[in-house]
């Protein structure tokens, strides 16, 4: 396990935050604020997502839920990761 400190916030869709679905899509945009990592984690289930119901989590909370993202978390803004299901490996589908 890395001893890096994963400070900062990330956006998590309400379906992931509630435990209803797993993270299947991760996208990093340019951060808006110093505490923002730019990461957004969504279920990509096809279920409509209301941006107003999305949650803000600490990045280390996201990594505790989904440790498989740890190897990708330092990739730059413009990165997009996707996997078919929870047992599939992450694929970089867009890179900066």
- SS3 letters across the chain: CCCCCCCCEEEECHHHHCCCCCCCEEEECCCCCCCEEEEEEECCCCCCCCHHHCEEEEHHHHHHHCHHHHHHCCCCCCCEEECCCCCCCCEEEECC
pLDDT for 57-75, tens place per residue? 999 999 999 999 999 999 9
CA distance between the termini of the chain:
26
pLDDT for 8-44, tens place per residue? 999 999 999 999 999 999 999 999 888 999 999 999 9
> What is the pLDDT at residue 5?
56
Mean pLDDT of the chain: 91
């Amino acid at each position: 396990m890395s001893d890096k400190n994963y400070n900062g916030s990330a956006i998590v869709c309400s379906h992931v935050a509630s435990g209803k679905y797993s993270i299947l899509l991760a996208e990093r945009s340019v951060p808006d604020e110093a505490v923002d990592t730019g990461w957004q984690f969504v279920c990509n289930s096809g279920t409509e997502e209301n941006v107003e119901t999305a949650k803000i989590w600490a990045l280390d909370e996201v990594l505790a839920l989904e440790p498989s993202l740890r190897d990708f978390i330092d990739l730059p803004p413009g990165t997009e990761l996707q996997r078919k299901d929870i047992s599939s490996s992450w694929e970089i589908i867009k890179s900066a």
